[in-house]
Structure 1
């Protein structure tokens, strides 16, 4: 019940295998190869992206460490510049300032939040130093 296929590949009309039947038998293999190739390409692409992200993360961590060091250095510099001893020295040497003597310091009474008075502030001379005081405080 099986048919015998001709063994010779001649140019006869009934003795050849059609191109369509060969392609039909090769089609599953071609699809399988295309599937494996696609999966391989996706796998390689994902690995390349992971490695690239790793390099970017490493670079960002190095930048974060450098910025943290710079921030610490700037905090130390700020603390040094704001030190009271340095500010007093600059005020004395560069600006010619000095600490006021006792009577030149005027303490103003604290105002309560509910009392809103309009007071005029005037300046008076005391031994060559101008001191601001309230008009009604004399």
Structure 2
């Protein structure tokens, strides 16, 4: 068995998000939110979220929506908790790890943590500045 390779572009991003959402829809915690509350149309959503991650990982510049607004609207309908985001992160990391390994795969997981933390703070109307989370290194 060969070791997984690193993410190299949009096709790889699409593979990760497709598998992630397959798992998320089947998940006991996240599935009802995606299926019943957000009522995600995967055929429409997958290209958009692939644009997002392609922009995050490869600076593609193809994502043109407001990630916070989407989650804030959902949060008004169904309060999203830190536990929901923790579950999302665990499922995301497991999916990335099972499909890919390398610098971009690590970045996908690290950026997911940053995004989740920021969304949780913003949904709670707390300071979302990354300045309060930057560690000063000697």
Normalised to the residue count of structure 2, the TM-score between the two structures is 0.19
The structure with the largest strand share of the pair is 1
Q: Greater RCO between the two (CA within 8 Å, min separation 6)?
A: 2
Rg larger in structure: 1
The structure with the largest helix share of the pair is 2
